[in-house]
Amino acid sequence: MESEIKAVVDEVISLVTLYGLDVIGAIVILIVGLFLAGRADKLVRRMLSRSPRIDDMLRSFFGSLARYIIIAMTVIAVLNQFGVQTASLIAVVGAAGLAIGLALQGTLSNVAAGVMLLIFRPFKAGDYVEVGGRSGTIKALGLFVTEMATPDNVQIIIPNSQVWGSAVVNYSYHKTRRLDLALGIAYEADIGKAKAAVEDLIVADARCHNDPAPLVAVGNLGDSSVDFVIRIWCDAGDYWPLKWDMTRALKERMDKEGISIPYPQRTIHQAAE
């Protein structure tokens, strides 16, 4: 019995003597690697935050990418510490990755599309966009899906491959937008008076820009009205409030000026029997 215990103790001592320094070295490498990975993540985010052109989604992506690269290098260094041939291991992992990739083509296409969206940035969080047949405000962009919210706060989740593969209409990209309004007046109304009234409304509203200059012109002679084309430039955030206020103001001003806004009418003649 004593001889067996002694044999076990000798074996443990032999293993500790043989691999003790390797284990300690591997632990040190692992600790240092994980520390550097966390520091690299924060450093990349902090450096990218200095540029106003790089949003939170892109900073998060590149920070995570730097962290995972260092973690992968740390794992390889730990394996090398134990004498593992990492070249053959990488080949095995690559073959397994290829098999998994073929089985998950749809999922990987979403990942690839997510990376492209993060790099080219057709939109950012907070933008109101129309994409994939859906409209809403961008809430988050992940590696697999894009999250949106409709104006009535309904969540929409769209796979990134559909977002990247379709046209993106970004209503928030430019700081200014052009508001187009239509106004029809009766044929017997004074065109000059109506035009002057519309121009007064535009000048009186501080949300309307002077550059580019607003446009008020007769655009069409309709079946029952003379149609004005009204084009006003404003800040993108003022688009909808200005549209609603100006539409009401036009109606009230035309009523005040005694200018009729006609509506389609139909006259029916009944033949005598």
Q: What is the pLDDT of residues 127-146, one digit of tens each?
A: 999 998 889 999 988 778 88
- Residue 147 backbone zone (phi > 0: left; psi -120 to 50: alpha; other: beta): beta
Query: Between β-strands 215-221 and 226-235, what pairing exists: parallel, antiparallel or unpaired?
Result: antiparallel
Amino acid found at 256 = K
Q: Do you know the residue count of the chain?
A: 273
Residue 153 vs residues 49, 162, 206, 271: alpha-carbon distances, Å: 29, 21, 30, 57
Amino acid found at 7 = A
Q: What is the pLDDT of residue 83?
A: 62
Neighbour count for residue 41 (Cβ, 10 Å): 19
Residue 134, both tokens: 């859906």
pLDDT in tens, 69-118: 888 888 877 777 666 565 655 665 565 555 545 444 557 788 788 878 87
CA 112 to chain centre: 16
User: Which of the two residues, 48 and 128, has the higher pLDDT score?
Assistant: 128
pLDDT in tens, 12-26: 555 455 555 566 777
Residue 218, both tokens: 């007769």
| Overall average pLDDT of the 180-193 stretch | 93
pLDDT at 253 over 90: yes
User: Which of the two residues, 22 and 168, has the higher pLDDT score?
Assistant: 168
